Amino acid sequence: MGWFGEAVDSIKSIQIRQALSQVVSLGLIVTSALIIWKGLMLMTGSESPVVVVLSESMEPGFARGDILFLHMSKDPIRAGEIVVYNVDGRPIPIVHRVIKVHGQRDTGEDYVLTKGDNNHEDDIELYAPGQRWLQQHHIMGRAAGFLPYVGWVTIIMTEKPIIKYIVIGALGLLVITSKD
């Protein structure tokens, strides 16, 4: 029996009050994660303040699995900045560097062309058919900070869902069976 028997016993011996307090502490963990995420959104002004690099197109600067912290301010986008942008019809945002900017005088609208540091060609091929430039509304944020490797956790979890379920299951079991 050993560990498993103990675990079953501890589940059996759960009192209603203890169970409630565990639900509350679990709720606290979930809500504080949500608070941090939403707080980051407010501080950075970007709808997704942290992104994981998924492709090799910005090597050797950013490798697969690195994490970027985004920042979105009123300042106009300028050449050289690394922006994260969405293209209509593409589910996954792209992280590339701005190489050309045309800022219109009348409308104040910027027309921007991007390219991956590790790619030979610029991104016109990646844009929607007929699209030549990115505009402000395509851009989700610009990269301001960088943390290596940490994003591998999410890459592994999305590519091997079984590991995700094992981790969630193990954590859940730990929470249920822990005796404070």
Partner 1 sequence: MHSFGYRANALLTFAVTILALMCAMASVSDNFNSPSPTSKVQVLNINWFQKQPNGNDEVSMTLNISADLQSLFTWNTKQVFVFLAAEYETPKNALNQISLWDGIIPSKEHAKFWIHTSNKYRFIDQGSNLRGKEFNLTLHWHVMPKTGKMFADKIVMSGYRLPQEYR
CA distances from 105 to 88, 100, 109 (A): 26, 16, 8
Q: What is the smallest separation between the CB atom of 25 and partner 1, expressed in angstroms?
A: 16
Place of tokens 């920042």: 71
CB-nearer residue toward partner 1: 73 or 161: 73
Catalytic annotation present for 106: no
Half-sphere exposure in the Cβ direction for 109 (13 Å, CA): 8
Give how far Cα 49 sits from Cα of 18, 68, 84, 94, 141, Å: 37, 8, 10, 14, 8
Residues near 11 by Cβ (< 8 Å), separated by ≥ 6? 176, 177
46, 66, 123, 138: the catalytic one is: 123
Question: Which residue in 57, 66, 110, 138 is the catalytic one?
Answer: 57
Instruction: Pick between residue 76 and residue 161 the one whose CB is nearest to partner 1.
Output: 76
Distance (Å, whole) CA 89 – CA 105: 30
Output 12 or 132, the one with its CB closest to partner 1: 132
Catalytic site includes residue 57 = yes
**Residue 97 near partner 1 by CB under 8 A:** yes
Decide whether 36 or 79 has the Cβ nearer to partner 1: 79
Is 32 one of the catalytic residues?
no
Q: Is 102 in the site for partner 1 (CB under 8 A)?
A: yes
Judged by CB under 8 A, does residue 146 bind partner 1? yes
Cα separation, 135 vs 110, whole angstroms:
6
Q: Is 101 in the site for partner 1 (CB under 8 A)?
A: yes
- Residues of this chain that interact with partner 1 (CB under 8 A) are 60-62, 78-82, 97, 99-106, 111, 117, 122, 143-148
Kindly list the catalytic residues: 57, 96, 123
